[in-house]
Structures are given as C-alpha cells and as structure tokens.
Amino acid sequence: MAAARNAANPIRKAVPKEFDMLRLGSKPEGMREMDLDDIFLSRLQLLVIMAKAYLSQYPLGLYRERSILENVAFVKTDAEGLAEDIERFGYDESIPSGLTFEPVFYQRVKLLTVMAEAFAKGHSLEDHKQEALEQNIDAICEAITFSKKISEMQFLQVA
C-alpha cells in the first residue's frame, strides 16, 4: 500500500528509493516519553541555532521573529526556575547527568535570551555585543556538550 502511494506522490521524489519510510530520532532501545529536561535542552539548542543564524546574517521574517520570541519566553522561564532550584537546594556537581549545571550556566542562558529577544525585536547588536553573544554561545555549548570543561580534557591537546 505504501509503495503505491509513494509512486503517486511527487513530493517523494528526493527521498532515496531504498527508504520506504524515513526514520529519525532515538534508537528503539532508548525510546521513551520526552520530559521537561529534554524539552529545555532542545529549546536551548534551537535558541543557539537562532542566535548563530542571526550572527551569520541569515534573514529573519515575521514568523521567525515570532518563533524566536516564543522560544525565548520558554527558555527564560525554565532557566529561572532551574536557577531558583539550585539556590534553594544547592548545586550538586556529583550528579553526572540531567540539568545539574553550575549556577553561572543559567545566568549565561538568561543573557542569551535577552540578546535573542533584542535581535528578534529588530534591535541591531553592535559589534562588541555580537562578540559577547558569540562568546556566550560558546560557553553554553561547551556546558551542554561536555561533562567537563574542554580545557580539562588533556587528551584533546595532543594528536
């Protein structure tokens, strides 16, 4: 049934023939419901992409601006909540996974939301602010990519 439908569907033309259905996402053994931590990290990743696209001078549009502002609102609220949790319960760096980032990480995320809100509302960022945005993105990416700081990984310093 699927093959017959695909043959009549011109939009399918770019999908390689060996794929009768494109499969994306987690491996079968890792499949589970998405929780708020998944959504926070995914939205933060989206915000980083939005900021990188701005720095690359990719065009904005009405719905892109709307999407950035919606994303900013979610990430900001969540980052504030998570930062408050750390203030209330303390920061436990022994927890290896989850959203146990250092408190300064959430400050950096909040700064990113402020900057993203500014460019989504049409305020152009001057050169030094763009540089600060870039540095902030780098620091956030390092925090969500590595469990340790990249400078602490000595094996990466040799080849």
Partner 1 sequence: MKQSPSVKKSVRCSSCRSREVVIIANVKIAVIDEDIVVRDFIVSALMYSVNRDVMAFDDGFDAWVHFEESGFPDMIVADVNLQEIDGLTLLDKVKQASPKTIFILFSDSPENEVLARKQGADAFIAKPFGVNELFNLVQTFVVEGGMSEDRPAMP
Which residues are at the interface with partner 1 (CB under 8 A)? Answer: 1-2, 5-6, 8-15, 20-28, 30-34, 36, 38-39, 41-43, 45-46, 49-50, 56-59, 61-64, 66-68, 70-71, 74
Q: Which is nearer to partner 1, 45 or 147 (CB)?
A: 45
- The CB-of-106 to partner 1 minimum distance in angstroms stands at 19
Residues 15 and 22: beta-carbon distance below 8 Å: yes
- The CB-of-53 to partner 1 minimum distance in angstroms stands at 9
- The CB-of-69 to partner 1 minimum distance in angstroms stands at 10
- The CB-of-20 to partner 1 minimum distance in angstroms stands at 7
Q: Which is nearer to partner 1, 19 or 146 (CB)?
A: 19
Eight-class DSSP state of 46: H
Q: At what angle do helices 36-55 and 62-89 cross, to 10 degrees?
A: 130
47 contacts: CB under 8 Å, gap ≥ 6: 68, 71, 72, 75, 112, 113, 116
Element (H, E) at 72: helix 62-89
Residue type at position 71:
N
Q: Which is nearer to partner 1, 71 or 136 (CB)?
A: 71
Q: Which is nearer to partner 1, 42 or 135 (CB)?
A: 42
Torsion of CA 78, 67, 140, 77, to 10 degrees: -10
